[in-house]
Each structure stands twice: as C-alpha cells, then as structure tokens.
Structure 1
Amino acid sequence: MTRNSLFGYRKVFEQYAVILQQKYPSLAIEGENHPPPYLNQKIASILGILKILLILVVVSGTNIFEYLGVQTPSVWEWTQQNKFYACLMTFFLCNAIEGQLISTGAFEITLNDVPLWSKLETGRVPQPPELFQMIDNHLNMASPQLSLDS
C-alpha cells in the first residue's frame, strides 16, 4: 500500500496517484493531510483572529491610537481614507501569510508499512521514474515472484 501525507499539495498527490495507478493497477493509494508544526498552527490562528479584528477596526473608523495616547501614523490615516482597499489588502496579505505558515508540503510514501520516501527528510518530491524504481526494488526484495506491473 502507498500512503501519502500532505498539506496544501493535494494536486501533487492526485497526480502521483494517477501515475502510480496506471503503472500499478492493484496498488491501493491513500492520502491524508500532514499537520503543520504546532507553533505555526497557533501563529496562523492568532493571525486569523487579528486579521478579522483589524478589518473590523478599519471599517468602524475607530482610531485606536487616540486611546493609546500616541500620534496617529499616516498609514492608519490612509486606511481610513481607503477602507475598501485597506481591508482587501489586509485580508489577502494575512491569508497568504497564514497559508505559508500551515502549508507543510509534506509528502510521505510507504509501501506495505515500509517507508519509501519522505519529503520531510529529503526536501523534495521524487521524480516518477525514481519512485517506480523504489517500488520495483521493494517488491523484488519482498518477493521476487510478486509483481504489480500490468
């Protein structure tokens, strides 16, 4: 069996699943999300909350700097003059940062519970011929008579 763990890279998994299913039709292929590191997950959650709060403050027109007793920055004045653009920029910039924080790109492949490849360890995804070679070698070592080739 092949097991694929990934987060945010569902398309890569689907492409590899199709390629492997064509070459090894009897191979069962499964995929699941690999969770991001705990700290990244928490930072992304906090950033999501701050994003909503900042958008609400911009839309409401509340000048938080007056409450803090400091001079209002020119950036804040710009947000008040351009609320729509400021909210859009805040939303998309925070979403991009959140996505980077929670996207691990983890890609792990096992065959019969034996690890064949880990993107976490190697930092890259194997090329299809490289993956086929690993699967064939594993199958030949496990049982020289057994072959999953069609």
Structure 2
Amino acid sequence: MTTRNHLTSAQIDHYRSGLASAEQAAHIEAHLKNCPQCQQELQFGQQLSQLLAPLPQLAARLPRRSSRSVRWPRVFAAGMATASLALAVFISVPHLAGNIAGSNGAYPGGFDSQSLSPQVADAVQNIEFYQWLSNHPQMLQQGLQNGNPA
C-alpha cells in the first residue's frame, strides 16, 4: 500500500475523499501520524479542494449561451449588399476598359500617352512584364549580376 514507506497521491486522495475502506483508512491514518511528508500532501489536497469548491457555483451563475439562430434579415441584407456591389462592378468595368483603350491613347484621369515621361509610358506599355518580374525577383537579380538592367 505504500511506496518507499510513503503513501501515493492516489491513496491520499482516496482517503481524503472518504472512498477508502475502514481497513485502508486505519492504515493511512497510522501512517499519517508518523510521516510529515504525507501530512503535507494531505493538507495540500485539502487546501486545493477548498479553493476549487466554489467553481461549480460560479459556473452555474454564468449566463447560458443560447444556440445561435440564423438572423434572416441580416443574412438578406448582406446578400443584397454583395449583389449590389457585384452589379456595380459588372456595369462599371466595361466602361472603364473603354476609357483605357480609347482611340487617341488617352488614359483615365486626363493623361494621354504623349504627356507621360518615357519611363512611365514604357511601364504602362510593358506592365505585364513588370508584373511578371515582381513575381520572379531572382530573375532581376540575375540580370543585374550579368550587367543587364531590367
């Protein structure tokens, strides 16, 4: 029943909770009279039980969470907002694309290709290459190492 002449934590907890038989309880009490280490463990368990005793009452005071029901007005409003935004984008994108690809090379905002600096005009004309290059920075570094600026 003892390990190295000491009670195990399980034995002490069994005794403290009143689940030990009369024979086991008598043996544990006899051991506790002569063993300060096991007495400390018993006291620690008692203190811990006292400190944790209010938790069930505190948990009972907490408000119960009700199951979340779907709030149809909010779902409907979110769906309508999403549909409105999609419709606005669907209508405005072709209009914007027409402005970008105008017949005289004009860009939105009142700029035309003649008034742009050569660097900006090159960037606009080769935007797909610069986008690819931004996704592949190692290619830029290789070009710079070889003396070939992008």
Check whether TM > 0.5: no
Greater per-residue helix proportion: 2
Q: TM-score range by the shorter chain?
A: under 0.3
Q: TM-score, normalised by structure 2?
A: 0.23
